[in-house]
Copies of this chain bind each other. A is one copy, B any other.
Amino acid sequence: MIDTILKRSSVRRYTDEEISRENLDKIIRAGFAAPTSHNSRPWHFIILDDKELMKNVGQNMEYAHMIEFANKAIIVCADVTLAPECWMLDCSAASENILLAAESLGIGACWTAVYPYKHREEVVKKFIPLPENIKPLCIIPLGYAGKPANIKDKYDSTRIHYNKFNW
């Protein structure tokens, strides 16, 4: 498990191999298993597999063009009325679960940010109308990796402190 956490990296190029319904279901279930503030569970998950829609979103979303070439994508959203101040934390934990579940199944994924960028939210809403109370946090394209992962070791002992902050 910890190996999977350490090995996970952003995958931005994908093969055409199909992600099975069963694996997609496992990935989504991982999202639902994240902790949430006051157990508010504010999340909604929009699964994209319509190629025309993915092309439109990908071509118009900055830093996320690879959505067009992914096999599937998941938009992690929240009903912000359920957790007005914490929905972005709750959905971040759910998104990390999704990334890790995908990695554990050999499926590549990448967190592409929508929040906190208003113009990116507008791109989502142009192609996928959303109620006022539903905010997208990120879009996670999914696909089998088209090239070997570039695993970074981000450990930095200067960021670890004991019982007080050293500065």
Interface residues of A (CB under 8 A from B): 1-2, 4-6, 8, 10, 26, 28-30, 32-35, 37, 41, 43-50, 53, 77, 85-86, 88-90, 92-93, 95-97, 99-101, 104-105, 111, 113, 115-116, 128-131, 134, 137, 154-156, 159-165, 167
Contact = CB atoms under 8 A, between A and B. Distances in A.
B165 A37 contact: no
A86 to B, nearest CB: 7
Given A1-B100, A5-B97, A37-B113, A32 B163 contact: no
A46 B163 contact: yes
A103 to B, nearest CB: 8
Contacts of A99: 35
How many copies of this chain sit in the oligomeric assembly?
2
A6 to B, nearest CB: 5
Contact of A163 (B37, B48, B86, B96): B48
Contacts of A6: 29-30, 33
Contacts of A4: 1
A102 B123 CA distance: 38
